[in-house]
Amino acid sequence: MKRMGITACGSYDDAEVIRSLERLLAAAGGLEWVEPGMRIAVKTNLLSGSAPDRAVVTHPAVLAALCRMLTARGAIVTVGDSPGGPFTEGNLRRVYRLSGMEQVERAGARLNMDVGQRDASFSVGKVLRQLTCTSWLTDADAVISCCKLKTHAMMGMSANVKNLFGAIPGTMKPEYHFRFPDHRDFADMLVDINEYLRPRLYITDAVVGMEGNGPASGTPREIGALLAGTDPYGLDLLCAHIIGLAPGQVPTIVAAMERGLCGKEPDWPEISGDPKPFVMKDFQNIRQLRGIEFGDHMPGWLVPIGRLALQARPKASRKTCIGCAKCGKVCPAGAIAMVHKYPVIDTEKCIRCFCCQEFCPEGAMKVHRPLIARIMNPR
């Protein structure tokens, strides 16, 4: 049975997080399924490493509280992610250090250092029937996903479903972006990964989320909640409701709806706890003015014109850009060239994956909405 819940958590104080998480998990199905000796992989969101107070990564206090609860039941717990960049022990150590993951080790868990990869078949996948994923996740007896609620330029929102993209080894992520450049296909790919790995539990860190230029360079925003459940699609629907996104603005929710995995609105009777106090009416989302069905209902000859006039694209701020060229290195389409230490984007090659925006170390790369889009909808 699918269960999910939401509860208040006003800070990352260890005692408050433990109380809130215990209350939440008791309502969202609990940890009764955990057995002594069970190997549990906790897949967190570490992106490319960041101080916890910037709201880029899942806060270590939430992970530490979860690990204490799991190890108290006799589980062998490993926490990790495949962040951006090379999937190597050196890069993992750097990211763990930047993200304050020593709290996890003090809680009795270990940090993943297994950089093995495994090719897998998934015959029932909609778009992803062959995949390469990190073996530390597939070797575990059970997976728990523990994400951070943030805005995301490509997917509208980074939460439970998007978090499982971290199962793909870091340097292979650009390949997946290039294989699935269409937003709908990319969303279906993410749903396929969730259906393949099937975590036993999903937890959302929304104590402090990220608004604005997410998922790496936005602004921390206090929400004051933790969410958990066994249904990632229902949880994401609830997360979108909290930050003021319509279901159609989140491609992964649309993809789940099309497969019958998600309703059109949160199943309120199935939610333990009251979401109303956490709804953010002025949350600063990334406006793209592009529905998932963009172009489906207009003449074919108008579609290229509409895309040029309305679709958001990445653009670097000359005031903020330091000319490090990292955007060009992570671009899967090879669409960025450095001209006089400034990134110039070939719009014909650009697949709008926003990897450049996601991994810009200075937050200089932003989502740029064309003038016509801003006139049509100034918000």
Instruction: Specify whether 323 is located in the same domain as 197.
Output: no
Task: Please say if the pLDDT value at position 260 is more than 90.
Answer: yes
**DSSP code of 341?**
T
Question: In this predicted structure, what is the pLDDT of residue 295?
Answer: 42
Distances from the Cα of 219 to the Cαs of 151, 189, 210, 213, 281, in angstroms?
Answer: 10, 28, 5, 7, 16
Look over the chain and give the mean of its residue pLDDT values, rounded to a whole number: 91
Its domain, for residue 145, covers: 4-278
Question: In this predicted structure, what is the pLDDT of residue 337?
Answer: 94
Task: Please say if the pLDDT value at position 288 is more than 90.
Answer: no
Question: In this predicted structure, what is the pLDDT of residue 369?
Answer: 63
Instruction: Specify whether 101 is located in the same domain as 228.
Output: yes
Instruction: Specify whether 259 is located in the same domain as 342.
Output: no
Q: Is residue 257 included in any domain, yes or no? A: yes
Percent of the chain with pLDDT over 70: 91
Domain at 327, CATH number: 3.30.70.3270
Question: In this predicted structure, what is the pLDDT of residue 296?
Answer: 44
Query: Nearest-CA neighbor of 83 among 132, 50, 114, 46?
Result: 46
Question: In this predicted structure, what is the pLDDT of residue 290?
Answer: 44
Query: pLDDT tens digits, residue range 98-113?
Result: 999 999 999 999 999 9
Question: In this predicted structure, what is the pLDDT of residue 267?
Answer: 82
Mean pLDDT across 244-250: 95
Instruction: Specify whether 141 is located in the same domain as 199.
Output: yes
Task: Please say if the pLDDT value at position 286 is more than 60.
Answer: yes
Q: Is residue 284 included in any domain, yes or no? A: no
Q: Is residue 295 included in any domain, yes or no? A: no
Instruction: Specify whether 175 is located in the same domain as 309.
Output: no
Instruction: Specify whether 8 is located in the same domain as 143.
Output: yes
Task: Please say if the pLDDT value at position 12 is more than 80.
Answer: yes
Q: Is residue 288 included in any domain, yes or no? A: no
Domain at 184, CATH number: 3.40.50
Q: Is residue 285 included in any domain, yes or no? A: no
Mean pLDDT across 81-86: 93
Q: Is residue 342 included in any domain, yes or no? A: yes
Q: Is residue 199 included in any domain, yes or no? A: yes
Instruction: Specify whether 69 is located in the same domain as 177.
Output: yes
Question: In this predicted structure, what is the pLDDT of residue 170?
Answer: 86
The total of structural domains in the chain comes to 2
Query: pLDDT tens digits, residue range 138-150?
Result: 999 999 999 999 9
Instruction: Specify whether 265 is located in the same domain as 311.
Output: no
Instruction: Specify whether 253 is located in the same domain as 311.
Output: no
Q: Bigger pLDDT: 8 or 263?
A: 8
Instruction: Specify whether 269 is located in the same domain as 312.
Output: no
pTM: 0.89
Query: pLDDT tens digits, residue range 154-177?
Result: 999 999 999 999 999 988 998 999
**CB atoms < 10 A from the CB of 298, how many?**
11
Residue that finishes a domain, picked among 278, 310, 335:
278
Query: What confidence category does residue 302 fall into, taking pLDDT thresholds of 50, 70 and 90?
Result: very low
Query: pLDDT tens digits, residue range 122-131?
Result: 999 999 999 9
Question: In this predicted structure, what is the pLDDT of residue 269?
Answer: 80
Query: What confidence category does residue 375 fall into, taking pLDDT thresholds of 50, 70 and 90?
Result: low
**CB atoms < 10 A from the CB of 116, how many?**
11
Instruction: Specify whether 264 is located in the same domain as 304.
Output: no
Instruction: Specify whether 352 is located in the same domain as 321.
Output: yes
| Residue 176 tokens, joined | 């997946």
Residue that finishes a domain, picked among 248, 278, 308:
278
Distances from the Cα of 162 to the Cαs of 210, 261, 368, 378, in angstroms?
Answer: 15, 15, 22, 28
Pairing assessment for the beta strands 142-152 and 156-158 based on DSSP bridges: antiparallel
Question: In this predicted structure, what is the pLDDT of residue 27?
Answer: 82
Q: Is residue 289 included in any domain, yes or no? A: no
Query: What confidence category does residue 312 fall into, taking pLDDT thresholds of 50, 70 and 90?
Result: confident
| Cis upstream peptide for 215 (omega within 30°) | yes
